Structure 1
Amino acid sequence: MKLVAGNYLIIIAKKKKVGDLLNHTIWKATDFDILSYKKTMLHLTDAQLQDNKSFLTMISHVLNVDGFYFSTSYDLTHTLQRLANTSPEFQEMSLLERADQRFVWNGHLLREFAAQPEIHRFAMPVIHGFIALHSCCVNGKYFDWILISRRSCFRAGVRYYVRGIDSEGHAANFVETEQIVHYNGSKASFVQTRGSIPFFWSQRPNLRYKPKPQINKTVNHMDGFQRHFDSQIISYGKQVILNLVNQKGSEKPLEQAFQKMVSSLGNGMVRYVAFDFHKECSHLRWDRLQILVDQVSELQDEFGYFLVDVDGKIMSQQEGTFRSNCMDCLDRTNVIQSLLARRSLQAQLQRLCILHVGQRIEEQAEFEKIYKNSWADNANACAKQYAGTGALKTDFTRTGKRTQWGLVMDGWNSLIRYYKNNFSDGFRQDAIELISGKLFS
């Protein structure tokens, strides 16, 4: 990376093993070194020295945000279904060449290495998000259960500073989450996405607890909106939008505009479902989330999941995805995603004969604990990366109940978010744009 003083090389200095995914080791980067090509700084003025120091602080700030993962032998940027539908030529390519650029967080830093095949083995694509790998046992049958969230780097940033989409149709806080089961050589996968409401809107911090969202009235929203869903359909097939925002107050205009734009698409590939999460679940009535799960159950069955047997034969493909969003695509979104993922997992474990007929995941106490905690940890990771604090509502994800203590913790996290969003996120946003090559482009 080129800064004021000259070129710097950023390397992963320490790593921690997360686990093995399909016999490939997955690592979490835990420490980085930023090495200067220059032996001296004598060629810089005082002002240049100060600027260079500021840029180094910004890079360190981004690298210190938890959640950078890589593998030296496995392509973490693609889902199992995408990898299964590739050509032999694709399989021969280096991890750097074949990676899905949406999820390569060091893509800008690797641009000069991409043209030099002899050093590709040192230039690993790094994803940002969350990975949980667990060896589990149900009914005496051992299987691996894996959860991977890949954050897109194409409209990267922090809450309030980055909302909606850009002109290319890339959505803020877009995350692809894949749940994988590996049992006796068979592999099953279920993929969901989340992302900001995909038109041009903003919600800039202004010291109010909740700044009022503003829909841009000077642009043609449909161009970016169409691009967003065209790319989603190419990547994932049919789309069911689960819009969880409030249908009254300041969030109402966003819900109305979203619904109107989906209608304008006139596209049978995109369905729209609005569910006022806060209204439906008021007074701690979180059992009412089942209303939404039941409402979309037929669509979920229609989409199915990806399954490949021990011989590599594809038994079923996932034909579409649920694209969930609330305002931040963090707290409400993660709760709903965990419920849909559970429903898919129930079907997969029965088909793989891990669960007996009539058995429910909820009855498997040990696995249930792993499942709930991993989805709550996923919520916390995505929230820290976008909003600067852990997620809200994780008491429900961890325990299946909304608790008074959970409400207290949500209040505390909301206060920290308020402070960070108003007083430190500008620096965080600049730091992300520096390391992704957007600050000076």
Structure 2
Amino acid sequence: INQKGSEKPLEQTFATMVSSLGSGMMRYIAFDFHKECKNMRWDRLSILLDQVAEMQDELSYFLVDSAGQVVANQEGVFRSNCMDCLDRTNVIQSLLARRSLQAQLQRLGVLHVGQKLEEQDEFEKIYKNAWADNANACAKQYAGTGALKTDFTRTGKRTHLGLIMDGWNSMIRYYKNNFSDGFRQDSIDLFLGNYSVDELESHSPLSVPRDWKFLALPIIMVVAFSMCIICLLMAGDTWTETLAYVLFWGVASIGTFFIILYNGKDFVDAPRLVQKEKID
């Protein structure tokens, strides 16, 4: 979790809560993923693995021999969470799982002491793809796109193409979160029984009339921005004339954008069923 910005208050609150419990059975480790791995230095994830290595060895794993005798018991679990428990979480979980699996295979004699899973090319490929596919499956249910950072999960390296794909998926998530998730949430609320349909109600709570701003302002903004680009590409007779046109359409597009921003609630696709029930 980030140690600054919007995530900082959550990190501080959680750290205070864990500390106040005074439990020796629980240990909290905060790792600023974005700070430590900035500039694509994802090799620095080893810092976190080194921090928890001794603890992971102590927690061990459950093992039964061929005679059915319990050889080892697992004494605890790791719970890794990022802000949304998706992208960063999956990366860390895959690394912890690999380390645990490697220890188990060495104990069973499948791997020699000193051998690493990374050296087993065929298995490593299957392992990485399994975790990346798992990340995508969870992320599509929750965020509407594949997971971020799966280039690292699949290849063990952070790539520029992966960075571009993360940006693309983030934009899709932003759009879906603001403009298409309301209906999905209403469907979930209806399916789970969070909203009870009133048979006597003649008007559907999903049918909310939109005023003129909903259609007019986006059209005006798109037209103004398009005209601004056209004026830049098709210069007038003089530079002052071109500048005047660009300024006019530029101000129009920027002004419209801020009006839309100010009236943001009118454009966002917010859930209607449960919200309406609370208001009533």
- TM-score in same-fold range (> 0.5): yes
Following the alignment from structure 2 to structure 1, what is the Cα–Cα distance between the partners of residues 65 and 193?
42
1:255 aligns with 2:14: no
- Residue in 1 that maps onto 2:66: 310
Q: Which amino acid aligns with 2:176?
A: K
1:299 aligns with 2:51: no
**TM-score normalised by length of structure 1:** 0.44
1:343 to 99, 103, 128: 99
1:416 aligns with 2:181: no
SS at match of 2:151: helix
- Residue in 1 that maps onto 2:195: 439
**TM-score normalised by length of structure 2:** 0.68
SS at match of 1:377: helix
- Residue in 1 that maps onto 2:158: 402
Structure with the higher strand share, 1 or 2: 1
2:23 to 267, 282, 289: 267
Superposed counterparts of 1:346-385, under 5 Å: 346-385=102-141
Following the alignment from structure 1 to structure 2, what is the Cα–Cα distance between the partners of residues 328 and 417?
13
Q: Name the larger-Rg structure.
A: 2
- Give 5+ residue unaligned stretches, structure 1: 1-244
- Residue in 2 that maps onto 1:81: none
Displacement after TM superposition at 1:306 (Å): 1.3
Identity %: 79
Displacement after TM superposition at 1:432 (Å): 2.3
Q: Which amino acid aligns with 1:363?
A: E
Structure with the higher helix share, 1 or 2: 2
Q: Which amino acid aligns with 1:424?
A: S
Q: Which amino acid aligns with 1:428?
A: R
2:45 to 265, 289, 298: 289
Following the alignment from structure 1 to structure 2, what is the Cα–Cα distance between the partners of residues 353 and 422?
52
- Residue in 2 that maps onto 1:174: none
Following the alignment from structure 2 to structure 1, what is the Cα–Cα distance between the partners of residues 165 and 155?
15
Aligned length: 197
SS at match of 1:417: helix
Q: Which amino acid aligns with 1:346?
A: Q
1:428 to 184, 208, 223: 184
Q: Which amino acid aligns with 1:324?
A: S
Following the alignment from structure 2 to structure 1, what is the Cα–Cα distance between the partners of residues 73 and 183?
43
CA deviation vs aligned residue, 1:50-101 (integer Å, no higher than 9, x gap): xxxxxxxxxxxxxxxxxxxxxxxxxxxxxxxxxxxxxxxxxxxxxxxxxxxx
Displacement after TM superposition at 1:300 (Å): 0.5
1:277 aligns with 2:33: yes
User: For the structure 1 residues 254 and 310, does the alpha-carbon distance in structure 2 shift closer, same or farther, using more than 3 Å as the test?
Assistant: same
SS at match of 2:132: helix
Following the alignment from structure 1 to structure 2, what is the Cα–Cα distance between the partners of residues 351 and 438?
50
Displacement after TM superposition at 1:262 (Å): 0.7
1:387 aligns with 2:143: yes
CA deviation vs aligned residue, 1:154-195 (integer Å, no higher than 9, x gap): xxxxxxxxxxxxxxxxxxxxxxxxxxxxxxxxxxxxxxxxxx
Following the alignment from structure 1 to structure 2, what is the Cα–Cα distance between the partners of residues 264 and 358?
41
User: For the structure 1 residues 279 and 313, does the alpha-carbon distance in structure 2 shift closer, same or farther, using more than 3 Å as the test?
Assistant: same
Q: How big is the alpha-carbon RMSD for the aligned residues of Structure 1 and Structure 2? A: 1.4
Following the alignment from structure 2 to structure 1, what is the Cα–Cα distance between the partners of residues 75 and 190?
37
Which structure would you say has the larger RCO, counting Cα contacts within 8 Å and 6 or more residues apart? 1
